[in-house]
């Protein structure tokens, strides 16, 4: 298994994102991610290391892990993504058609605790 965790760069950060999903439009959420969101994120240099589905405390969750060179870049790129015209149009259109697709969002910024592990 390839190790995506480069522990030599102490400025490097990882971002764990957890979205609460709703059963009524879970399929449409994944379709939106696959068809639009991942492509738009790549435009802003989002490095998605992995995506997972989880069930926790009776709710469905979409979990993904991002890798960033540093927190400053992470903040700047998220700001650009959130202002992206195409993303905002897609989000508005899918919300009108399917309702809110995401409930609570958890965001955790992770830095290496100690090098070499």
* CA neighbor of 32 nearest in space, from 78, 114, 98, 79: 98
C-alpha to C-alpha distance for 56 and 96, rounded to whole angstroms:
27
C-alpha to C-alpha distance for 64 and 52, rounded to whole angstroms:
6
Quote the pTM value.
0.86
User: Mind listing the pLDDT tens digit of every residue in the chain (117 residues)?
Assistant: 344 555 555 789 999 999 999 999 999 999 999 999 999 999 999 999 999 999 999 999 999 999 999 999 999 999 999 999 999 999 999 999 999 999 999 999 999 887 765
C-alpha to C-alpha distance for 40 and 88, rounded to whole angstroms:
11
* CA neighbor of 10 nearest in space, from 80, 115, 88: 115
The domains of the chain are located at: 13-111
For residue 17, the tally of other CB atoms under 10 A from its CB is 15
Q: Which CATH number fits domain 13-111: 3.40.50.740, 3.40.50.720, 3.40.50.300, 3.30.70.100?
A: 3.30.70.100
pLDDT digits (tens, 9 = 90+) for 66-99: 999 999 999 999 999 999 999 999 999 999 999 9
C-alpha to C-alpha distance for 76 and 46, rounded to whole angstroms:
11
C-alpha to C-alpha distance for 62 and 47, rounded to whole angstroms:
17
- Residue-level pLDDT at 10: 73
């Amino acid at each position: 298994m390839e190790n995506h965790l480069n522990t030599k760069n102490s400025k490097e950060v990882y971002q764990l994102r957890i979205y609460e999903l709703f059963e009524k439009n879970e399929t449409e959420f994944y379709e939106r991610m696959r068809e639009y969101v991942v492509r738009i994120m790549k435009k802003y240099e989002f490095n998605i290391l992995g995506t997972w589905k989880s069930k926790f405390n009776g709710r469905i969750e979409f979990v993904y892990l991002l890798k960033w060179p540093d927190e400053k870049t992470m903040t700047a790129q998220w700001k650009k993504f959130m202002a992206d015209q195409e993303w905002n149009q897609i989000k508005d259109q899918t919300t009108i058609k399917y309702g809110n697709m995401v409930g609570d969002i958890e965001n955790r910024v992770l830095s290496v605790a100690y090098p070499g592990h």
